[in-house]
Amino acid sequence: MDCDVLIVGGGPAGLSLARSLADAPLRVIVVEKQPHAALEAPGYDGREIALTHRSIGTLKALGAWDLLPPEDVSPLDEARVLNGASPFALSFDPASHGGGPLSLIVPNHRIREALFRTVEHQPNLTLLAGVGVAALKTSARAAEVTLDDGRTLSAKLLVAADSRFSGVRDRLGIGAEVNRLGRSMMVCRVRHDGEHHGVATEWFDHYQTLAMLPLNGRRSSAVLTLPAAEMDGIAALDEAALGAELTRRYQGKLGRMEVDASAHVYPLATTWSRHFAATRAALIGDAAVGMHPVTAHGFNLGLQSQATLAKLVIAAAQRGRDIAAPSLLRRYEMTHRLASRPIYAATNWLVRLYTDERPGARIARHATLRAGSRLPLARQAITAMLMQR
């Protein structure tokens, strides 16, 4: 065997798994198609990740948290959901759970950079950057991967961490539910005249969804979702016009807005893999579950998936057992499916409820929001989930 664990994909899920295995008696290889320089200094991609307390704990345990520039960590103290012009706001605040921020927001590229720094000198890890996967086969004995440059690598366990459109998943013959939503999400950091007071808003307005995530200072991450064709026109605006457009769409609630960093557009698609494991293989991160970003859980679930898999693999390695035994992989699959299915289904339900413009749906969401604002138990349950440690 060339290694024990072969991870395809050096994104947040792949790198955090590699780091989780640092002290295990295992040889690990990460194959990443982006060049080494892009891993070392990832470019700003507009994504601001709202981390749950559990994810913050995991990043601390991995040694990545202390590598994040403190000025890039912004507290999110309260979250409000707004519906059209309705005065009923559903509000989530941490006061009933011992205080402290509901979440901390960190730019995605900073997390990737910090994770890279935790693994760059890891003795049991070989990082092969700038090369992808051309073919693979698995058997009861081993997984064998052929790289684009013709090299072949064998491993006891193959891990797919190569995004929601995972090529490894396809090559393993694992099907997936893929929902292309025909909508695009623009993320754009803005400066504004008004104060956000640490409050994030998710405003499901008619024909658009606009979220504002509070960042340090008078800055926010504006997250605009529109039908893909309409987004093309907005994406073509220059910075001054885009600032004015976002101010208008947010009805001046935060005063005048100006673009603070380049805008990025993501076509929206959610994915759910039919299996999270196969012979000598496991799927983690977005390769297993590709969440809609609206509930900010994709990264958090990805971190959870690698922690679940790492725990099982390390325990097996320490006992001298097979790290890719069918029973181990079934256990991983079952645990992560149970952890992710409810949030995946609830998020998709929320998206359908709030983007359906038929009159019946408008009445239903108004009623849901109104009921939600009167159901303290539901609010507390969601707050507790966000603050889960």
Ligand X SMILES: Cc1cc2nc3c(=O)[nH]c(=O)nc-3n(C[C@H](O)[C@H](O)[C@H](O)COP(=O)(O)OP(=O)(O)OC[C@H]3O[C@@H](n4cnc5c(N)ncnc54)[C@H](O)[C@@H]3O)c2cc1C
Residues in CB range of 80: below 8 A, 6 or more apart? 89, 90, 91, 92, 199, 200, 201, 202
Q: How far is the CB of 330 from ligand X (least distance, A)?
A: 21
Q: How far is the CB of 93 from ligand X (least distance, A)?
A: 18
As a whole number of angstroms, the distance between CA 373 and CA 379 comes to: 8
CB closer to ligand X, 346 vs 367: 346
CB closer to ligand X, 104 vs 328: 104
Q: Running DSSP on this structure, what letter comes out for residue 24?
A: S
Cα 116–120–125 angle (5° rounding)? Answer: 110
Which phi-psi region, left, alpha or beta, contains residue 225 (left: φ > 0; alpha: ψ -120 to 50)? beta
Q: How far is the CB of 354 from ligand X (least distance, A)?
A: 17
Cα of first residue to Cα of last residue in the chain, in angstroms, is 38
| Chain contacts with ligand X (rule: CB under 6 A) | 8-14, 31-34, 47, 49-50, 108, 132-133, 161-163, 167, 185, 187, 266, 285-286, 293, 296-300, 302
Residue 94 C-beta-side C-alpha neighbours within 13 Å: 20
CB closer to ligand X, 302 vs 372: 302
Structural contact between residues 254 and 288, judged by C-beta atoms closer than 8 angstroms: no
CB closer to ligand X, 9 vs 94: 9
Q: Which residue type occupies 275?
A: H
Q: Running DSSP on this structure, what letter comes out for residue 125?
A: E
- Helix, strand or coil, per DSSP, at residue 328: helix
Q: How far is the CB of 265 from ligand X (least distance, A)?
A: 9
CB closer to ligand X, 25 vs 267: 267
Q: How far is the CB of 221 from ligand X (least distance, A)?
A: 9
CB closer to ligand X, 81 vs 187: 187
Instruction: Report DSSP letters for 28-94, one per residue.
Output: EEEEESS-HHHHHSPPP-S-EEEE-HHHHHHHHHTT-GGGS-GGG-EEE-EEEEEETT-S--EEE-G
CB closer to ligand X, 88 vs 266: 266
CB closer to ligand X, 132 vs 194: 132
Structural contact between residues 112 and 32, judged by C-beta atoms closer than 8 angstroms: no
As a whole number of angstroms, the distance between CA 274 and CA 173 comes to: 10
Q: How far is the CB of 11 from ligand X (least distance, A)?
A: 2
H or E segment and range at residue 381: helix 376-386
Q: How far is the CB of 372 from ligand X (least distance, A)?
A: 21
CB closer to ligand X, 34 vs 91: 34
The strand ranges marked E within the chain are 3-8, 28-32, 48-51, 74-76, 78-83, 90-92, 103-107, 125-129, 133-138, 143-147, 152-160, 176-192, 199-205, 208-215, 219-227, 257-259, 264-273, 277-278, 281-283, 289-290
Q: Running DSSP on this structure, what letter comes out for residue 243?
A: H
Residue 150 C-beta-side C-alpha neighbours within 13 Å: 0
CB closer to ligand X, 10 vs 372: 10
Q: How far is the CB of 10 from ligand X (least distance, A)?
A: 5
